[in-house]
Amino acid sequence: MRFVPPAPADPYYEVHLYDTGCVATRARNWHDFFNALVWLAYPRTKATINALHARQIPLEGGKRGRVRDLLTIFDEGGAIVRCADEELRRMIREFRWRELFWECRERVLRSMQIVVVGHAVLEKALAPWPGIACKAMLIGMEDDADACAAQWLSTHGSPQELAALPVFGYPGWLAESSRAEFYGDTRYFRAFRSS
């Protein structure tokens, strides 16, 4: 795998990357910089995302399907939540944001780590605001995040299988998180809605 300047290539970035091992990387571009950092930190996850894209593209007839939606959403906006506390994990799945991030904040700080791997989210964090959210997979605290993410992506096929997560609510991310009323803002801390 090499980071190279963009050049005319296969119309599908993912196929060209899979065939050549060349990650097109624009100079002085935050989006591409964060993409490169995630490649370096989570190589198995990124390689799995790329291989699955390359495998799916010929099967889709030019129309991106559910599997590639999942891969793209995770690649751009994904997070890995490392947490062994099942009650905290349930709060995420049930959209109980105030309870999770305010009432249980000490437990969250002790027992939960959020690893943002979506390079678009990392870019957005340069100018943090309360609407930044991720789609997350939940793993154990001691699990290898890279190995778990690669395995999870290999065996799941729908974006709905990822948990919605307003990462800016993590205690201390934003100055506003030091006030209880912050977690009552339903523009950002939305309740669960079935589709």
pLDDT tens for 9-56 read: 657 889 999 999 999 999 999 999 999 999 999 999 999 999 999 999
- Asked if the structure places residue 189 within a domain, the reply is no
- Asked if the structure places residue 192 within a domain, the reply is no
What mean pLDDT is predicted for residues 180-185? 95
Check if the beta carbon of residue 93 is closer than 8 Å to that of residue 191. Answer: no
- Asked if the structure places residue 15 within a domain, the reply is yes
- Asked if the structure places residue 126 within a domain, the reply is yes
Please give the mean pLDDT across all residues of the chain: 94
Number of domains in the chain: 1
- Asked if the structure places residue 162 within a domain, the reply is yes
Structural domain of residue 63, as residue ranges?
Answer: 2-184
Amino acid 194: pLDDT:
61
**Which one, of 157, 139, 141, lies nearest residue 149 by Cα?**
139
Amino acid 137: pLDDT:
97
- Cα 156 to Cα 10: distance, rounded to the nearest angstrom: 27
- Asked if the structure places residue 164 within a domain, the reply is yes
Check if the beta carbon of residue 107 is closer than 8 Å to that of residue 100. Answer: no
Amino acid 157: pLDDT:
83
Burial of 54 (0-12, 13-18, 19+ CB in 10 A): middle
- Asked if the structure places residue 195 within a domain, the reply is no
